[in-house]
A and B are shown apart, each in its own frame.
Chain A
């Protein structure tokens, strides 16, 4: 029973981690708190729902949803934030602008598509499961595990080990000095927006799979968790976000199983407050990345 709950928690946490990775990436590099981020999650889920309903397999629908959400992220970022960045507006300005925008987007989507919950076709979810002793892992969970491993691993490789990643890290630390190196900081910003939007979109598809419930405001509920994970992990810290995501998933599932399902948000936020009291730089204690 406990083993099963742990597995469920870790898999749920893996999707939280994926979602939070993109959020922490944009914050770490672009230094904006972008609340439209939750909308990319919704967008990804809806793109996948639309495609799979039309008969497309998940192997195609998942990357298409990720790419589509990435493109939406780039467009919204250009519309909403480029001007603010150019004017070097503070983080509060980006918070207000993106909050207004994202509420408008959810409302417009609800008005256009209706508030009802959509479900992915059964053929996509599959009915098989892997049974390992007392633990049962569904086909959807296996897919989540695979997708998160590939995407998170790919992101870590890109940021830590590739030439482009070096440029991303330079822009994150000091965009001015990066420009002096010949790095086009604006192009890096577009790339980072795309990557984070794609991660959020993929996260939306995977949560859609996990709970089989897709509706416009799902991104907003996820955004709260995104905040918890990113702050627990330390703002801008990629590894911190991954660990904190897994932790939050496990805490939520265990709370629901042994306490009551209604308590899981309360416990998640209590955890957040507790951690911030005792370790203001996040759970893993590293100080926030230096900004020159």
Chain B
């Protein structure tokens, strides 16, 4: 298992969002987290990615406890081992596509020249070779998400976390974005955990789990399948 939640609970004030959630993901797997809105999908993703610390339970990454690391070590891990794609790319709109993709490399103190080359490479893999100089605020939704994918993969992460990456896109654009995300992550050997309520998006994954009321049910391991 590359990443695991073991009995993870998390509340916002008095609102329980996760109740002893369990999820194990093997290296190289693509897993979809589905479920109604408000069921705790994003909270689970954030706990797995070390963005939130659980109130109780454990999160393991690559054989190590993640939830007990101090803030500095956790953000270091997020920067080096994880990549993120959110519903709205969370790109810096005033920067060009290339600069956005370079950003995580520069934060990791990669030399500028090298970062530029890597960014250009990744923009090309996302079929954005011509748009590197364009400010991301001027891109279409699908183009912006492809820039976000380039930025998530440019650091060669072990795990990519995506939260509704196609939520703001139409069917065909969303499908294209998902094909690129999953296809490239597989080429890189990266694990993907994608939150989505869209069955077509989830169909790109190897398997799906369903979150209901803060609990994870895995239809392939629980007695649901006869």
Q: Do A and B come from one complex?
A: no
Q: Residues of B at under 8 Å CB distance from A? A: none
Q: Residues of A at under 8 Å CB distance from B? A: none
